[in-house]
Structure 1
Amino acid sequence: MRGWAAGLLLLFFVLPVHAETLRIATFNTEMSRQGPGLLLRDIERDKDPQISAVVAQIASVNPDILVLQGIDWDYENRALQALQLRLQQAGAAYPYVFARQPNSGMASDLDLDGDGRLGGARDSQGYGSFTGAGGNAVLSRLPIDHGAVRDLSPLLWRDLPGALLPQHPDGTPFPSPQALQVQRLSSTSHWLVPLKLPDGGSLTLLIFQATPPLFDGPEDRNGRRNADEIRLWQLLLDGALGAAPAPPLVIAGGANLDPNRGAGRRAAIAALLADRRLQDPRPSSPEAGVNTVEWQRAGRMRVDYLLPSADLQVLQGGVLWPATSDQTATPASRHHLVWLDLALAPQ
């Protein structure tokens, strides 16, 4: 494939073997479409202004490692490969990619949201009306150790130590005991993706996108699930979910939770940010401070995160918040790209 070869060639110009810094970014692109195959169609047609804005913003930051949310998954990763080609054409080549089927859009045969109906988007393992809706992905200039990837997405919610399982007012399981027998914790995915560093070591990405802590009832199903999706990382670092990953590592993705405002169990993200095994560089922008999203009603919040392990040296970082002077421009996403520069060698 000529595009792959060109991307691999460009790798040696963009990320030399002895590079001393590594730029990592996470971006909830919100590129999910209304049905399977539509994202691939829109990327290949090259006429969609939102996708063009996403590509332009990624190329402007030009990270070496890019963790994406809100991108539809398909069995052959054709949409991801189409985006890979568009980015290469924009000057941001990524020869290595990773994506697996997310829980979002994974149909169940049960009423998982308790509305008394079957087959709705909220009856999937994670919200989604079709297989692969709104998944996660990695694009990288560092080789991905596919054989060492750990996928915690199949973990049942009830099997998480101390799970905050929802209940009816009488204390019975919500929505039903049968539903909680099959309900996975991850609304999208929880992945551990090791990357091979130039010095022979590895850097592990801990990737997720948690459910919004909204759109439920007094049982607080989504608020509880959101908190447990965030808390999973600390349990993993504790060794409570199998072998704890060795540093260096970076938690990358969307918590859908601000530590200071908005709905949800904010103590969950506050605890993660305060964990001494991690560091919170608090990347920011002149336009919006540490905020990473702007919702029409809730306003600006910090919900997208890059949290390196404490052993890593952070050189600089930021949140890409393009100027709003051109009101006719199509926004890439309500979320904004978050990036950090990490030191790979003593500075």
Structure 2
Amino acid sequence: MIGAALAPAAFAGGDGKGSPPPEVRFATFNASLNRFSAGALGAELAAPGSAQPDTIAEIIQRVRPEVLLINEFDFDPAALADFQTNYLSVPHGDAAPIVYPYTYIAPSNTGIFSGFDYDNSGAAGDFVPNDSYGFGFFPGQFGMAVLSMYPIDYASVRTFQFFKWKDMPGALLPDDPSTAAPADWYTPGPELDSFRLSSKSHWDVPIDIAGETVHFLVSHPTPPVFDGPEDRNGTRNHDEIRFWADYVHPGRSSYIYDDNGDYGGLAGNARFVIAGDQNSDPLDGDSIPGAIQQLLDHPKVNTKVTPASPGGTEQAALQGGANAAHLSDPAFDTADFSDSAPGNLRADYVLPRKNMKIVDAGVFWPLSTDPLFPLVGTFPFPSSDHRLVWIDVRVN
């Protein structure tokens, strides 16, 4: 990662024709392309030259993933098109333009008022973000988008925005500690019946890579904080992660239904890559112990290679604080959080099916002496508090 673009995986041209390429680069990036009012991101991206989107675009251009999930991109299809035209298609220094002919963006649960008092403050809607299906100040804030050089099978995309948490067998529904009844933070009846599992959404986006279908399974579970002793966000984070663990396991997925009412998960032989900001470190931070291990220890998931960076190790040592007591290897960190708590964490993952060989992997977090370090920087960050994570995998 020193001073230049990363060498991209071998690529057959992105038209889905001919022999499958030996390697494809998949990536996830919580790019902090969210704004605090509806339409603000679209207005910003409608013209070139805004500093933070320029920096995000340059990072993407230097890593050059063929298939990319962007977390925290406000739901706005026109803004996504403008991000391509005005930022990704524009060179940044010696970083060449990058073009994604295929994109997917869809609504998010964030900022959609439920009509219920989800935070048990005593009044529904007194603070709408907390009483929405997912935390947000307007519908679609903190959404996500998929960008691909390979064709997306749009007719076969499955979304799970409306899946109800109560319909997951053995769901870790939060408990109101002030009552004797179990698992009753969300009042049984209409309130619990309305509660959606996904804080944003879960998408199964099939991508045709030279005749082979790879299911890009993307999501962005809620942070396991900003709650109380009931741990409603921690339990939700756990079960949002569990959703994909069940979806890729034919013996555990029969309860899952998509937004069209179709049931079931992936076929046993289906290729997949799970990607997203899971907001869960294996050993540190505030997530429920074992939350991310539902994927890392899954019999169908390949974790033989862990994406790493030199910058994660360096910054953990320089910043100290909570980082000094962490158990996870800081080389695997993907997010630069507050030094007091929780410290830097591994939050972002790209996890392929076990029979898809990982050829290479990394986290874009250069050393402070690297000419590219200003792209990530330190607080206040010029791009995002998360780092782009990538893997190169063999598809067949």
Q: Work out which of the residue numbers 242, 265, 287 in structure 1 matches 2:311.
A: 287
Aligned alpha-carbon RMSD (Å): 1.9
Match of 1:164 in 2: 172
Q: CA deviation at 1:330?
A: 4.9
Instruction: State the TM-score, normalizing by the size of structure 2.
Output: 0.80
Over residues 211-237 of structure 1, what are the superposed CA-to-partner deviations in whole Å (9 max), with x where a residue is unaligned?
Answer: 011111111111110101011112212
Q: CA deviation at 1:45?
A: 3.0
Decide whether aligned partners of structure 1 residues 317 and 128 sit closer, same or farther in structure 2, where only a CA change above 3 A counts: same
Q: Work out which of the residue numbers 170, 192, 200 in structure 2 matches 1:180.
A: 192
Q: Work out which of the residue numbers 264, 282, 285 in structure 2 matches 1:243.
A: 264
Q: CA deviation at 1:15?
A: 6.7
Decide whether aligned partners of structure 1 residues 266 and 331 sit closer, same or farther in structure 2, where only a CA change above 3 A counts: farther
Structure 2 distance, partners of 1:16, 1:127, is 38
Structure 2 distance, partners of 1:175, 1:190, is 22
Q: Which amino acid aligns with 2:81?
A: Q
Q: Work out which of the residue numbers 119, 122, 130 in structure 2 matches 1:113.
A: 119
Give structure 2 stretches of 5+ with no counterpart.
1-10, 92-96, 257-262, 313-330
Q: CA deviation at 1:331?
A: 2.2
Match of 1:267 in 2: 290
Structure 1 distance, partners of 2:290, 2:12, is 43
Over residues 311-347 of structure 1, what are the superposed CA-to-partner deviations in whole Å (9 max), with x where a residue is unaligned?
Answer: 10111010001344556995210000000111235xx
Q: CA deviation at 1:50?
A: 1.3
The 3-state SS of whatever aligns with 1:57 is: helix
Q: Which has the higher strand share?
A: 1
Match of 1:7 in 2: none
Q: Work out which of the residue numbers 350, 354, 363 in structure 2 matches 1:310.
A: 354
The 3-state SS of whatever aligns with 1:134 is: coil
Indicate the larger mover: 137-146 or 36-45.
36-45
Give structure 1 stretches of 5+ with no counterpart.
1-10
- Please say if 1:155 is aligned against 2:153: no
Q: Work out which of the residue numbers 298, 303, 319 in structure 1 matches 2:363.
A: 319
Matched residues, number: 332
Structure 2 distance, partners of 1:48, 1:107, is 31
Match of 1:203 in 2: 214
Contact 1:49 1:330 in 2 (8 A): no
Match of 1:95 in 2: 101
Match of 2:322 in 1: none
Q: Which runs of 4+ in 1 moved over 3 A?
A: 11-18, 322-330
Note the 1:1-347 alignment, pairs <5 A. Answer: 13=13, 17=17, 18=19, 19-74=21-76, 77-85=77-85, 86-90=87-91, 91-119=97-125, 120-169=128-177, 170-171=180-181, 173-177=184-188, 178-198=190-210, 200-236=211-247, 237=249, 238-240=252-254, 241=256, 242-246=263-267, 247-280=270-303, 281-288=305-312, 289-296=331-338, 297=340, 298-324=342-368, 326=374, 330-345=381-396
Decide whether aligned partners of structure 1 residues 309 and 154 sit closer, same or farther in structure 2, where only a CA change above 3 A counts: same
Structure 1 distance, partners of 2:364, 2:232, is 32
Indicate the larger mover: 233-242 or 184-193.
233-242
Instruction: State the TM-score, normalizing by the size of structure 1.
Output: 0.91
Structure 1 distance, partners of 2:84, 2:12, is 17
The 3-state SS of whatever aligns with 1:28 is: strand
Structure 2 distance, partners of 1:211, 1:147, is 28
Over residues 117-149 of structure 1, what are the superposed CA-to-partner deviations in whole Å (9 max), with x where a residue is unaligned?
Answer: 333211110000101101011000111111111
Contact 1:318 1:338 in 2 (8 A): yes
Q: CA deviation at 1:243?
A: 2.9
